[in-house]
Amino acid sequence: MLKSEESNLIIKSDTMSSIWENYKTDNAYDELMFAEYQPRAVSHTLCQYLNTLNREDIDKRKTAAELAILEMGITFTVYSDEGNIDRAWPFDIIPRIIDAREWKIIDKGLKQRLTALNCFISDVYDQQTFIKENLIPREIISSSKNFRKECVGIKPKHNVWANICGTDLVRDKDGIMYVLEDNLRVPSGVSYMLENRVITKRVFPELLQDIEILPIDDYPTQLHEMLCSIAPNPNGKPQIAVLTPGIYNSAYFEHAYLAQQMGAQLVEGGDLVVDDDDCVYMRTIEGHEKVDVIYRRIDDDFLDPEVFRKDSILGVPGLMRAWKAGNVALANAPGAGVADDKVVYAYVPEMIRYYLNEEPILPNVETYLCSNPEHLDYVLKHLAELVVKPANESGGYGMLVGPHATAKEVEAFRKVVMGNPRNYIAQPTLAISTSPTLCKNKLEPRHIDLRPFILQGENTFVTAGGLTRVALKKGSLVVNSSQGGGSKDTWIINMETN
């Protein structure tokens, strides 16, 4: 991976009003700072600019950003005992920066990875050669709750099952970006990535003039094009709908946002009906109108009560029938989640070698599979040092961060893992990178990750950057917004032209 150069700028931190006072880069890699008070070359302009601001100035900009978020109504919903609350999106105004030269490599690596994953999913629901050649134990697939036997034999367009993928990347102490997980079911966050840039433009207009940041606002267009490319009938303008579970879903804002940006219909299950001709229709003021492509933001389980959970009122009875008949495209395809499993994750490098005959560009984090007796043994011995995750949960729920847990929590988790080893994986606790984050009115290092979004239909597209999530609590490694995380704008900067 590319080495980062330092800048010749030294930050003043002598005065009490400096926002950099006591900024320590800890033991982790800092995305903006090369050494104490010395920025990386890529963050030179930003740090120079921040240097001209005192605490009061920065506070004003923070307030402006918060106001913008409130007015634009950028919210997410938190589930709690007192009911669902609409919270303002927690946003840190200090951007995270990546050199365009490094990004070029990451971009390539992400495309490679998703291509291999889609080959794997196609294979799993077809010939299963990967399994037959003993590259993955059959039980891992057959015991995966995201393997849908109903999908066997189906061939989605372009052989792509996961059309929209959100891949989580983290940078370890060694400066290398690792893939932490692939989200192939209904990954969310892209609307926040887009809105973060809008807010940054409002808060730092003078700064954005001087830096060449790769634009990100073509995502809705790319998404629209990808969805058109998977329509059953490629001629004419396909009718596209975003299927949402409704206003009480935590990502409802995003569903509405994407539908609006694409000029697509935002529909709930009750708005759709599958007729005797196995086609999907919307209930409109003019009667029933045919739908060609559904970007569904509902989990497989709830998609079609005729096939999956019978008690689902969010889905559309008959939807699977229509999909199998080839009358409607579903993105992502049902069953795509089989590759979104933290156990299957461990086999992705092998998939890249097997299907593409290439070496993986982006490395995996070392992963111990508790289903493997040797691995399990190691995990149980080193529980207090490892991060242990359930194979199929998202949102940071139900995981153990060994070094941050009490002895009692570790022991309780030991029982849970032993009770169902297949369902757990463990990874070393990474010293994931930090980035300067505004805490009160000065900067402090906080741990971050990155979720780029990859689209695959006829073509493959990667966002320029992605959503940077930040653990706002000091020392915390959990960045999920449902667990007190925030987010940052992500800048991919072209150094050659700056």
Partner 1 sequence: MLSRSAERLYWLARYLERTENIARQVNVHMNLLMDLPKDVEMGWQHLIQINGCKDAFYSRYSSTQERNVTRFLLTDTTHPGSLLSSLSFARENIRTSRELMPDEAWRQVNELYLYSNKQIDAIINRRSRVLFLNEILEGCQRFNGLLSGYMSHDNAYRFIRLGRNIERADMTTRILELGSILLSEARSPSARQYENILWMNILQSLNALLMYRRHVRSRIKDDDVLNYLLLDEALPRSVNCCLFEMADAIKSLPNHNQLPEKLAELQDYVKSIDTRQTTQTQLRVILDHLQSRLGVLHAQIAKHWFLNSTQDQIQSSPKTEEQNSA
Residue ranges that bind partner 1, judged by CB under 8 A: 70-73, 242, 246-247, 256-257, 259-260, 264-268, 270-271, 282-287, 313
Instruction: Check if the beta carbon of residue 398 is closer than 8 Å to that of residue 420.
Output: no
State in angstroms the smallest separation of the CB of 284 from partner 1: 5
Measured from the CB atom, is 159 or 284 closer to partner 1? 284
State in angstroms the smallest separation of the CB of 238 from partner 1: 17
Closest Cα partner for 447 from 389, 384, 396, 381?
396
Distance of CA 378 to the CA centre of its chain: 29
State in angstroms the smallest separation of the CB of 139 from partner 1: 41
Measured from the CB atom, is 64 or 72 closer to partner 1? 72
State in angstroms the smallest separation of the CB of 201 from partner 1: 15
Measured from the CB atom, is 73 or 215 closer to partner 1? 73
List CB contacts of 94: < 8 A, sequence separation 6 or more. Answer: 50, 435, 436, 437, 438, 443, 488
Measured from the CB atom, is 67 or 176 closer to partner 1? 67
List CB contacts of 398: < 8 A, sequence separation 6 or more. Answer: 389, 390
State in angstroms the smallest separation of the CB of 224 from partner 1: 13
Measured from the CB atom, is 281 or 413 closer to partner 1? 281
State in angstroms the smallest separation of the CB of 258 from partner 1: 8
Q: How far apart are CA 187 and CA 169, in angstroms?
A: 14
Measured from the CB atom, is 258 or 376 closer to partner 1? 258
Measured from the CB atom, is 242 or 348 closer to partner 1? 242
State in angstroms the smallest separation of the CB of 315 from partner 1: 13
Measured from the CB atom, is 269 or 445 closer to partner 1? 269
Alpha-carbon torsion, ordered 395, 339, 413, 171, to 10 deg: -60
Measured from the CB atom, is 167 or 265 closer to partner 1? 265
State in angstroms the smallest separation of the CB of 376 from partner 1: 46
State in angstroms the smallest separation of the CB of 67 from partner 1: 9
Question: What number of CA atoms fall less than 13 Å from residue 422's CA on the CB side?
Answer: 9
